[in-house]
Chain A
Amino acid sequence: MTIELKLSRSNRVYCLGETVEGKIITIFASPVSYQKIIISLTGTVNLQVKGGVTGVIESLYGVVKPICIIKKSMELASSAGKLGPGRTEINFSFSLSSEKKSGYDMFYETFHGGNISIQYLISADVTRGYLHKALSATLELIVEHDKASLIQAPISPELTSFFITQDTQKHQLLPELSSGRFQVSGKIYTHCSLSEPLSGELIVEASAVPIRSIDVLLLRVESILTGERIISDTSVVQITQVADGDVCRSMTLPIYVMLPRLLVCPTVLNGPFSIEFQVSIVVSFKSELSKLYPKFDLQTPRPWLASLTLPLRVFRTT
């Protein structure tokens, strides 16, 4: 006895305002009688506060109450009936629209983060009376902003220049790094469209100590309002190496980072939570000291690392 959901688009991506079409497929060995067949859509923001970041009290709560974005359901068969043996397909369609009247005025794109996840689920339920277990299937829908709303806010690309030198670092550097000069400069687009790669360039202008690697870190900053406090957590989404080894000086290296799907969404700033992104450029130098730390992350300031973090505004364009 199986029940399956299938959408008209194989990638399951739908924009706001579009009509979602699909079908429920049942495959039964023998006829099954039912009371109701219901298809429903729920969109929720799940917020979770990790223990380590917050205080003791908050950690007791664990999960903050999820925020409902959308919830609708409809009956495909309101009166009881029977589903025949073999394969049966039941078509359905509904429009994906924010229903202002029901009070959900915010709309978010699907996002799978560390503490925050925004999910849209379609579920099909076949109820079969009290004695029988209900049959159900669930499928995640990926929702994006509709194209019409995007044109209203064209954002001009913004190129930010940066310098990384021994003087821009706030943490303790290796003695040879602070005495010998190094300078990495570059520019990067800090307003970035989701459909485009994050791009920019950098130049190693000087470095007395050989460079081991230069990496671009894509960071997400998830903030949740709990009561009176805002709890923020920064985590790495993706690391992209742009230089491997002690590269030639004064050569322009491109920064080209594909933004991963689902893990990155347009920046969300207002409301009970916010999702922001940052880009961090980390230069690691060759050093004997680093060998003592077999496993280290690039976020924590270390004496052999020099870094720079810039806010990144992500938006969707057509």
Chain B
Amino acid sequence: MEFSRRDYLADDSTFSLPRTPVQDHPLTAIRAVTAVQIDATRDEKVDFEDPLRAHVADPSSNVQIFDDTSRRSLSKEVGQFSAKEWAVFTKALSQKFSYSNMITIPSAFDIVSRNNKEHNKSLADVHIEELEDPEMVIKEEKKVITQQEYVSRLQELKAEIGRAWNADDRIKALKLSIKVSRLLIDTSVLQFYPTLFLLVIDVMDMFGDLVWERIKKKAEYSDDGTFIWSLPESFLSVDVSSQAKETCYNWFCKIGSIRELLPRIYLELAILHCWRFLEDHHMHCLQRLTRMMRGLADPLASAYCHLYMAHRAALVHCKDTGYLIMSISDINFSLRRIISDKEARKNDSDRNIKLTISLMEPTIEWIMKCIFMEGRQKPNDILVEFGFGSGTLDSTWKVPWTSIIIHHLVRQLPSKIISAYLFEILEIFELIKDLSLDQHLNYRLLGHKLCESPPHPAYVESILNRVMQVISQYNQLEEYLVVANAYLDIILQCSMDSLLSSILDGILKRAKDRRVDEAELDALQSILMKLLKYFSSIENAFASEHFMALYELLSGISKNVINLDMLEKATRSRSISDPTTIQMLFEISKALHDSIDILNEDYQQKSQLICYFVRMVGFGDDRGRHLTFLATCRAAFSNFDIVMDTLVLLSNNLASGAIKGKSKFSNFVKACVAFSEATIPSIPNQIRCMKLFIATAEVALFAGLFSHTKGLLNSAIDCLICLDLPGSYKSIIEDEILSLTCKMCSILAFIPGINGGIAQIQMRLMLVIDNQPWASSKMRTKVFCAIISVCSCLSQSLLPRPPKNMKVAGHDEMFFFGDESYEQEISLVTRDALQCLFKAIEQDPASASKGKLALEACNCLIINFKANHELHLKCSKLIEIATSCLHSKDNYLTTSVKFFEKHFQNL
């Protein structure tokens, strides 16, 4: 078999596309045009309607709807919204205060006993029984049960109430409900109270709904059970028949006759929405109930009672928030009493008071929410009722604030409103220092609110000065940090540098000589993040003494977070060349690298950032130093494969830069290649290694380091040997390997033969592929074809030239041509390759793919060999295989057959 002669130069000129030089990059123009187009489309779409903005767009129509008689439907939406919120709230409440210990219940509230007498008595009897209620019976006995028992007993009771109701024994249902509601009188197990509350109001709600349904039925059906009409959702009391009203009033009478205050209030709240059958305005009723709750001396019981009212009042759609403000005022009043009591006594119940207040907090939060949800149209009016504004004539607010109440008020206030009342709020904050809530939390809240909606610039300084005056008296680092953090945004926005430095000084002063604890670290971290954002570049941050001093205080996770942030900031700049910056960032990266728990942590982000950083570093022309830096990085970031990968690419880059630089480079390139060669094996992914070996081989080839090139290519083949091909993604990985192998073959065309033959690597590659069990026949066919092609190339008298912009050193002195031993070697390799090729095709099970492979091989042979009988024999055999596998009209087959016939027509 003899190779056909090729003229690569002529081929090049015939087959290359015509080229013309241009001034601009062709893609930049396209980008600019599309940008303009996008702008244009944006302009066209001015009439786009934002569904959320629709209401704001036409406030007049909105107001009209609101004033309309259909306001009920609007308020209904509010009710539904709060029902969802309520569910979230109650869930949070039960999670926050879960309690699993034993519960002691005074026997007066006994629900465990099951001696339920049959109640078939008249209304008058109920009265008499109420009189005999055990409330006045003082027993000291107590029962202890688990929470589980308590809950299951309550559920039983609930079911029993339902059963009694369905059996038309409504008196029994009422009596059981009263019994359940009485449980809330007992607040002795503080932590259990929220859970108990939720359990009890569940029963109350059910009872209320039963009553509601019954009265509704009375209104909708006549006495003898015929349906009259269905009551509309937004009915008024005039729509209700007098009979239904009578029944409804009876229920209120029954509940009104309950002797004890707390059950009476709870049951009236449970059937509160039934007032709708009797009246259209419920303001008085709600206010009366609120005032009645003042009779509940226990602050916890009273607060939760207010909470239940806020919840049930949503059902009557009362627009006026006066009763809720009264609730808050009364809670404030009782809080003041607890606080002042404590301050008078100073005894051991301090913890209990704190606990009570924390248990009351959710009720305050929810009621405040309700106030601003109902009254969101007029927050100013609400504030006036709270005693804000110059005219305090109307206010319901007469006693001094407690810290926790003002906190929740400010929290619910829309931030836009806050700036109008800022100085009043500040004044209250300055005055209040009680144990219900730490003062600094109020300042923090205000800071957050101000960030949302910054005050008028003219006031900023005086506001901040007032705040600073207060916090300068804080000795606790945490308090100081928390407040400083809250106001930092504003300070940075207004770039008040002197204030900033005095704050940072304040932090450093308080952090001196002590370890910063967990809570403080969070605030400190947030401060540093804000500062980092503020600095225009990372160099400025490193230059700032304050910043670095604060950074030194960090430890643990917070330090990592800030490190990441700093790296991110640094990598956003164009390049990093300042040696101190590089050193700092290197240390930061190193710390990040060392902090990672490689087995249990997702470190992708961190390693990616370090990669960016390493890539960003530049030393100008000082390549030696750059390579040293890469070597340091290799030692430092050994856990990150991706960094290793980058380092190899960078060192290759350095080498090729050096080659282009034309100065004496040989030693430097050798160093780079050696660096890469040593680095690559630390990457576990074999394909990645192979790729990098080939890339480095190319660099070495250009530098004329042929023995290095050979060594690297051999290493690449070693990778193939070690490769363990997993089942999934097989075809993708196979394609990658195939393209890499083909690339390797193309490089081989440029390597001269030195000591030990010209086709050594080809031979080795062939053997390796042939012996790999995972190599498919497609892969084999293609690789063997490639080997045949490269052999054909090497046997030419005139070798192909490397591309013009690539200069391979020493290529001119290719000195193997004409050497007989080389020719022999090549023909040997070619023969083996042909054998392997036929074997591979024949082994493939008959299918369309087999046919295609045969055709491919046939084409390869026709191109590379001279037309003679031997070749004809081989090719016709391949065509035969193809015809047996492929459809006779297959395009590839027909064109290949034509080509085949044309090639051998002279034979």
Instruction: Report if A and B associate in a common complex.
Output: yes
Q: How far apart are the CA atoms of A75 and B330 in the complex, in Å?
A: 65
Q: Give Cα distance in the complex from A185 to B140, angstroms.
A: 33
1/0 per residue, CB under 8 A from A, across B224-260: the answer is 0000000000000000000100100010110011011
Q: Report the minimum CB–CB distance from A113 to chain B (whole Å).
A: 10
Contacts of B139 in A (CB 8 A): 294
Interface-centre pick from B123, B138, B252, B259 (highest chain A CB count, 10 A)? B138
Within 8 A of B (CB), among A26-62: none
| Given contact pairs A257-B256, A258-B256, A291 touches B297 in the complex (Cβ within 8 A) | no
Q: Taking A239-B131, A251-B294, A256-B292 as contacts, is the C-beta distance between A262 and B123 under 8 angstroms?
A: yes
Residues of B within 8 A of A295 (CB): 136-137
Decide if B296 touches A10 in the complex (CB within 8 Å).
no
* CB nearest to A296 among chain B residues: B136
Q: Known A238-B257, A242-B295, A257-B256; judge A10-B223 contact (CB<8 A).
A: yes
Q: What chain B residues lie within 8 Å of A294 (beta carbons)?
A: 137-139
Q: Which residues of A contact B292 (CB under 8 A)?
A: 242, 253-254, 256
Instruction: Pick the contact of B294: A240, A252, A260, A291 (CB < 8 A).
Output: A252
CB-based contact B127/A260 at 8 Å: yes
Interface residues on B, range: 35 or more
| Residues of A with C-beta under 8 A to B185 | 244
Contacts of B256 in A (CB 8 A): 197, 240, 256-258, 260
A236 adjacent to chain B (CB < 8 Å): yes
Q: Tell whether, in the assembled complex, residue B136 and residue A254 are in contact, meaning their CB atoms are under 8 Å apart.
A: no
Q: Convert B283-327 into 0s and 1s, putting 1 for each residue whose CB lies closer than 8 angstroms to a CB of A.
A: 000001001101111100000000000000000000000000000
Tell me the bound Cα distance from A298 to B330 in angstroms: 29
Known: A256-B288, A294-B138. A247 touches B257 (CB 8 A): no
Mark each residue of chain B from 134 to 167: 1 if its CB lies under 8 Å from any CB of chain A, else 0. 0011111000000000000000000000000000
The answer on a CB contact under 8 Å between A244 and B260 is yes
**B96 interfacial by beta-carbon distance below 8 Å:** no
Asked whether, in the complex, the Cβ of A244 is within 8 Å of the Cβ of B333, the reply is: no
Is A150 positioned at the interface, with any CB of B under 8 Å from its CB? no
Chain B nearest CB, measured from A43 CB (Å)? 19
**Residue B262 is within 8 A (CB to CB) of chain A in the complex:** yes
Q: Which residues of chain A have C-beta atoms less than 8 A from B291's C-beta? A: 252-254
Please tell me if the beta carbons of B337 and A248 are within 8 angstroms of each other in the complex.
yes
Shortest Cβ distance from residue B471 to the other chain A in the assembled complex, whole angstroms: 34
Q: Are B259 and A240 within 8 A (Cβ)?
A: yes
Q: A241 contacts which of B252, B260, B330 (Cβ < 8 Å)?
A: B260
Given A236-B131, A242-B295, residue A248 in contact with residue B123 (CB < 8 A): no
A313 within 8 A of B: no
Tell me how far the C-beta of B864 lies from the nearest C-beta in chain A, rounded to whole angstroms: 105
**Would you give the shortest CB distance from A286 to chain B, in whole angstroms?**
11
- Chain A, Cβ-Cβ closest to B337: A248
A291 touches B261 (CB 8 A): no
> Which residues between 76 and 114 of chain A lie within 8 Å of chain B, taking CB atoms?
112
Question: Considering the chains assembled together, what is the distance between the CA atoms of A237 and B288 in angstroms?
Answer: 23
A179 at the interface (CB under 8 A from B): no
Q: Chain A's nearest CB lies how many Å from the CB of B472?
A: 37
Report chain A residues within 8 Å CB of B330: 251
B127 engages A245 (CB within 8 Å): no
Q: Which residue of chain B has its CB nearest to the CB of A112?
A: B124
Residues of A within 8 A of B223 (CB): 10
Those of A221-259 within 8 Å (CB) of chain B: 236-248, 251-254, 256-258
Q: Do A258 and B253 have beta carbons less than 8 Å apart?
A: yes
Cβ-defined partner of A291 (8 Å) among B127, B138, B260: B138
CB distance from A284 to the nearest CB of B (A): 9
Judge if B830 is at the interface, Cβ distance under 8 Å. no
- Tell yes or no: A219 within 8 A of B by CB: no
Nearest residue in B to A297 (C-beta to C-beta)? Answer: B136
- Point out the residues of chain A lying under 8 angstroms from B297, CB to CB: 211, 243-248
Q: Does B334 contact A (CB under 8 A)?
A: yes
Residues of B within 8 A of A248 (CB): 294, 297, 333-334, 337
**Quick check: is A188 within 8 A (CB to CB) of the other chain?**
no
Query: Given that A10-B223, A262-B123 are contacting pairs, would A239 and B259 also be in contact in the complex, using a CB cutoff of 8 Å?
Result: yes
A314 to chain B, nearest CB (A): 15
Bound complex: CA A26 to CA B615 (Å): 105
A241, B243: Cα distance in complex, Å: 30
> Of B137, B246, B264, B295, which contacts A243 at CB under 8 A?
B295
The contact of A263 among B127, B136, B261, by CB within 8 Å, is: B127
Instruction: Specify which chain B residues have a CB less than 8 angstroms from the CB of A298 in the assembled complex.
Output: 136
Please determine whether B127 and A238 come into contact, CB atoms closer than 8 angstroms.
yes
How many angstroms between the C-alpha atoms of A251 and B47 in the bound complex? Answer: 59
| Beta-carbon contact of A214 and B138 below 8 Å | no
Whether A241 contacts B246 in the complex (CB less than 8 A), given A252-B294, A253-B294, comes out as: no
A147 within 8 Å of B (CB atoms): no
Measured CB to CB, the closest approach of chain B to A240, in angstroms, equals: 6
A238 partner residues in chain B, CB cutoff 8 A: 127, 130-131, 257, 259
Of the candidates B137, B252, B262, the one whose C-beta lies within 8 Å of that of A244 is B262
Contacting residue for B138 out of A215, A247, A260, A290, CB 8 A: A290
- Give the nearest-CB partner of B139 in chain A: A294
Query: For A244, A256, A257, which residue has the most chain B Cβ atoms within 10 angstroms?
Result: A244
> In the assembled complex, which residues on chain B have CB atoms less than 8 Å from the CB atom of A239?
130-131, 259
Candidates A11, A112, A242, A260; contact of B253 at CB < 8 Å: A260
CB atoms of B261 and A244 under 8 A apart = yes
Contact (Cβ within 8 A) A214 B257? no
Min C-beta distance of A267 to chain B, whole Å: 20
Specify which of A236, A243, A258 lies most central, judged by the most chain B CB atoms within 10 Å of its CB: A258
Set of chain A residues within 8 Å of B295, measured between Cβ atoms: 214, 241-244, 247, 253
Cβ of A261 under 8 Å from chain B: yes
CB distance from A287 to the nearest CB of B (A): 11
Question: How near does chain B come to A6, taking the closest CB pair, in angstroms?
Answer: 10
B705 CB to closest chain A CB (Å) equals 94
Q: Are B288 and A254 in contact (CB under 8 A)?
A: yes
Q: How far is the CA of A262 from the CA of B123 in the complex (A)?
A: 10
CA distance A234 to B33 in the complex (A): 100
Query: Per-residue CB proximity of B317-355 to A under 8 Å, as 1/0?
Result: 000000000000010011001000000000000000000
Q: Check A263 against B124 for contact (C-beta < 8 Å).
A: yes
Question: Cβ of A245: which chain B residues have Cβ within 8 Å of it?
Answer: 296-298
Q: Known contacts A214-B295, A254-B288, A295-B137: does B259 contact A241 (CB below 8 Å)?
A: yes
Query: Which among B124, B297, B333, B337 has the greatest number of chain A C-beta atoms within 10 A?
Result: B297
Question: What is the distance, in angstroms, from B283's C-beta to the closest C-beta of chain A?
Answer: 15
**Minimum CB–CB distance for A265 against chain B, Å:** 13
A residues 262-313 with Cβ under 8 Å of B? 262-263, 290-291, 294-298
A243 to B261, Cβ gap below 8 A?
Answer: yes
**Which B residues are in CB contact (< 8 Å) with A263?**
124, 127
- Residues of B within 8 Å of A244, CB to CB, are 185, 260-262, 295-298
Nearest CB in chain A to that of B287: its residue:
A254
The distance from the CB of B193 to the nearest CB of chain A, in whole angstroms, is 15
**A211 to B246, alpha carbons, bound, how many Å?**
38
A240 contacts across to B, CB distance below 8 A: 256-257, 259, 264
- Report Cα–Cα, A175/B330, bound state, in Å: 33
CA–CA, A15 and B267, complex, Å: 32
Q: Per-residue CB proximity of A65-77 to B under 8 Å, as 1/0?
A: 0000000000000
In A181-202, the 8 Å CB interface with B consists of 197
Distance (whole angstroms) from the CB of B170 to the closest CB of chain A? 15
- How far is the CB of B127 from the nearest CB of chain A, in Å? 6
Within A114-129, which residues are at the interface with B (CB < 8 Å)? none
Contact partners of A261 in chain B: CB under 8 A: 123, 250, 253
Closest partner residue, chain A, to B256 (CB atom):
A258
Q: List the A side residues contacting B334 at CB < 8 Å.
A: 248
**20 sampled A-B residue pairs with Cβ under 8 A:** A10-B223, A112-B124, A238-B259, A239-B131, A239-B259, A241-B260, A241-B295, A244-B185, A244-B298, A245-B297, A247-B295, A247-B297, A248-B297, A251-B294, A254-B288, A256-B288, A256-B292, A258-B253, A263-B124, A296-B136
Identify the 9 closest CB pairs spanning chains A and B, nearest first: A245-B297, A258-B256, A243-B295, A241-B261, A254-B291, A247-B297, A244-B261, A239-B259, A246-B297
